[in-house]
């Protein structure tokens, strides 16, 4: 893959994630997606990078903010949208909603609405890969808030003790709901340094620079797959919309004045586009068909989700045990 190809693919991947989330935000007020949704608008670069570096046989888990991670791992769009609509065609048959996405065929093993909950599960996936002798990686997406849970330290410790093929991908967007890092962690704390001291091979990345993200993720995955032990990537990035829901909530003033705007000026899609414009010729005409293709895909997914039937109460009572 040439640099140029890589960059175009990253741009396409970010656009897809952005447009899906924007479509969810646009449809949400119709009150047909009746579950909490946590959107990743502004945080697309790590997922886009991941989508290019990851292999289908790698495994992954994520959090409440998991749409982008699910899609980046190759999770099917239609079943995800249907899941958010609560339909029987949803990836979790309507039982989980936006916060509980899984696509086993794609190696996307689940997301959790409980902060920190999926971290040890991801480490367990790594244990299985190691014991079964599969040269693949288990990828654990987390937020900055999750590093405050004890289970993060316990899980990282075990991963280091066993030299497991686990990659922690931490999107540090500086907030947990409305709470800034300053009320949760000491000033000057570096999640990367903490991870290093736990024994994880750790790298800090500009999480809005998709190219940098790609190289970091690619290297970490290769290391983990090749027996290099557990890896930690900290992506500095920012969420543009409210913590939960489709709206802008900047007027609530829980963030520093101008903080959102300065991050929006470093929007990962804009950044990459600006870079491409320097070398590329004729970007807009190349992007147009990409956008159209994505729009069509999204429209189909929403139309199918809206048209699909709801599961019913009888269905609800089934499958408590395997």
Partner 1 sequence: MPDNTIARRELTFAQAINEATHQAMAADPTVICFGLGVTDPGAIFGTTRGLEEAFGPSRVFDMPTSENAMTGVAVGAAIAGLKPLMTHQRLDFFLLAMDQLVNSAAKWHYMFGCQFNVPITIRLIIGRGWGQGPTHSQNLQAWFTHIPGLKVVMPTTPADAKQLLLASIDDPNPVLFLEHRWLHNLTDDVPEQPTHGLIGKARVARQGDDITIVASGYLTLEAIRAADYLTGVGIKCDVIDLRTLSPLDWPAIFKSVHKTGRLMAVDSGALTGSIAGEIIARVASERFADLKVAPRRLAQPDVPEPTSFGLTRGFHIRSRSIAGSALEMMGETGDVLLGQLPDPVPHDVPGDWFKGPF
Ligand X SMILES: Cc1ncc(C[n+]2csc(CCOP(=O)(O)OP(=O)(O)O)c2C)c(N)n1
Residues in contact with Mg ion by CB under 5 A are 143-144, 173, 175
Interface residue with partner 1 among 74, 199, 229, 245 (CB under 8 A) is 245
Residues of span 144-163 touching ligand X by CB under 6 A: 144-146
For the record, the structure tokens of 123 come out as 């480490």
46 is a contact residue toward ligand X (CB under 6 A):
no
Bridge partner residues of 236 (DSSP): 172, 206
Q: What is the dihedral of CA 288, 268, 58, 302, to 10 degrees?
A: -50
235 or 302: CB nearest ligand X: 235
**Residue 191: which H helix or E strand, with range?**
helix 191-198
H or E, element range at 169: strand 166-172
The pair of three-digit structure tokens given for residue 112, joined into one six-digit string: 């959790």
259 is a site residue for partner 1 (CB under 8 A): no
86 near ligand X (CB under 6 A)? no
Q: Which stretch binds ligand X (CB under 6 A): 20-28, 113-121, 130-138, 190-198?
A: 113-121
Closest separation in Å from C-beta 150 to ligand X: 11
Residue 158 token pair: 């075990």
111 vs 130 by CB, closer to partner 1: 111
148 binds, among Mg ion, ligand X, partner 1, none (CB under 5 to 8 A by kind): partner 1
* 214/256 Cα distance (integer angstroms): 29
What is the footprint of ligand X within residues 211-250 (CB under 6 A)? 243
By CB under 8 A, residue 163 contacts partner 1: no
The region of 46-54, 94-102, 156-164, 260-268 touching partner 1 under the rule CB under 8 A is 94-102
Should residue 320 be labelled a site residue for partner 1 when binding is judged by CB under 8 A? yes
Range 96-125 burial, b when 16+ CB lie within 10 A, else e = bbbbbbbbeebbbbbbbbebbbbbbbbbbb
Binding piece for ligand X, criterion CB under 6 A, among 46-54, 67-75, 139-147, 271-279: 139-147
Cα gap 134→58, rounded to integer Å: 9
Residue 24's SS3 state is helix
Task: Compute and round to an integer the Cα radius of gyration of the chain.
Answer: 19
The contact set with partner 1 (CB under 8 A) reads: 31, 34-37, 86-88, 90, 92, 94-100, 112-117, 145-146, 148-151, 176-179, 183-185, 244-245, 252-254, 309-313, 315-317, 320
């Amino acid at each position: 893959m040439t640099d140029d190809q890589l960059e175009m693919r990253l741009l396409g991947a970010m656009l897809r994630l952005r447009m899906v989330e924007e479509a969810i935000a646009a449809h949400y007020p119709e009150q047909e997606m009746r579950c909490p949704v946590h959107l990743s608008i502004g945080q697309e670069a790590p997922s886009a990078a991941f989508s290019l570096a990851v292999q289908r046989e790698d495994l992954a888990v994520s959090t409440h903010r998991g749409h982008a991670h699910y899609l980046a791992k190759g999770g099917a769009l239609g079943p995800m949208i249907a899941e958010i609509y609560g339909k029987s065609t949803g990836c979790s048959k309507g039982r989980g909603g936006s916060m509980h996405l899984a696509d086993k065929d794609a190696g996307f093993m689940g997301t959790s609405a409980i902060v920190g909950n999926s971290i040890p599960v991801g480490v367990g996936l790594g244990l299985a890969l190691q014991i079964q002798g599969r040269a693949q990686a288990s990828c654990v997406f987390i937020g900055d808030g999750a590093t405050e849970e004890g289970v993060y330290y316990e899980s990282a410790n075990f991963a280091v003790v066993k030299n497991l093929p686990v990659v922690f991908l931490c999107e540090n967007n500086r907030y947990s709901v409305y709470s800034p890092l300053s009320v949760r962690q000491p000033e000057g704390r570096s999640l990367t340094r903490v991870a290093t001291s736990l024994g994880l091979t750790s790298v800090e990345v500009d999480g809005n620079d998709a190219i940098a993200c790609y190289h970091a993720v690619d290297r970490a995955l290769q290391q983990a797959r090749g027996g290099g032990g557990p890896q930690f990537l900290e992506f500095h990035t920012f969420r543009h919309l409210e913590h939960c829901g489709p709206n802008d909530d900047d007027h609530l003033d829980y963030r520093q004045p101008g903080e959102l705007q300065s991050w929006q000026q470093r929007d990962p899609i804009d950044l990459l586009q600006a870079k491409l414009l320097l070398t590329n010729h004729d970007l807009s005409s190349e992007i147009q068909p990409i956008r159209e293709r994505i729009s069509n895909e999204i429209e189909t997914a929403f139309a199918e989700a809206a048209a699909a039937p709801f599961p019913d109460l009888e269905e609800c009572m089934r499958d408590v045990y395997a």
